[in-house]
Amino acid sequence: MARPQSPQGSPPVMLRCAGRARRRGNGVTLCRTLNREQPFPARRTTRSQPAERSLLRQPAAGTRRPHTRHDRDMTHPISGCLAAAVTPLTDGGDRLDEGAFQPLTDFLAGAGMDGLLAMGTTGEGVLLTTAERTRVTERFVDAAGGRLRVVAHCGAQTTRDTAALAEHAARAGADGVAVIGPPYFPLDDTAILEHFTAAGRACAPLPFYIYEFAARSGYAVPVRVIEELRDRLPNLAGLKVSDAPWERFAPYLIEGLSIFVGPETLIQQGMAHGAVGAVSALATALPELVRDAVRDARPDASERCGAARDMLQRFPFHAALKRLLVRRGVAMTGDVRGPLRQLTGEEERAFEAVVAEVTVGMAV
Structure confidence by residue, pLDDT tens digits, 123-158? 999 999 999 999 999 999 999 999 999 999 999 999
> What confidence score (pLDDT) does residue 37 get?
39
Residue 168 lies in a domain: yes
**pLDDT over threshold 90, residue 162:** yes
Residue 40 lies in a domain: no
**pLDDT over threshold 90, residue 346:** yes
Residue 188 lies in a domain: yes
Residue 135 lies in a domain: yes
Q: What is the mean pLDDT of residues 199-225?
A: 98
Confidence of residue 361 (pLDDT cuts 50, 70, 90): confident
The set of long-range contacts for 3-10, using a CB threshold of 8 Å and a minimum separation of 24, is 3/34, 4/246, 4/247, 4/250, 4/251, 5/247, 6/34, 6/35, 6/247, 6/251, 7/247, 7/248, 9/220, 10/214, 10/220, 10/243, 10/247, 10/248, 10/251
For 83, half-sphere exposure in the C-beta direction (CA atoms, 13 angstrom radius) is 30
Residue 50 lies in a domain: no
**pLDDT over threshold 80, residue 30:** no
**pLDDT over threshold 80, residue 15:** no
Q: Can you give the residue range of the structural domain that contains 233?
A: 65-358
Residue 60 lies in a domain: no
Which CATH number do you get for residue 137? 3.20.20.70
> How many independent structural domains does the chain possess?
1
Residue 353 lies in a domain: yes
Q: What is the mean pLDDT of residues 163-176?
A: 99
Confidence of residue 117 (pLDDT cuts 50, 70, 90): very high
Task: Give the three-class secondary structure for 314.
Answer: coil
For 167, half-sphere exposure in the C-beta direction (CA atoms, 13 angstrom radius) is 22
Residue 46 lies in a domain: no
- Note the pLDDT tens digit of each residue in 56-96: 444 443 333 344 444 566 767 899 999 999 999 999 999 99
**pLDDT over threshold 70, residue 238:** yes
**pLDDT over threshold 80, residue 174:** yes
Amino acid at 253: L
> What confidence score (pLDDT) does residue 74 get?
72
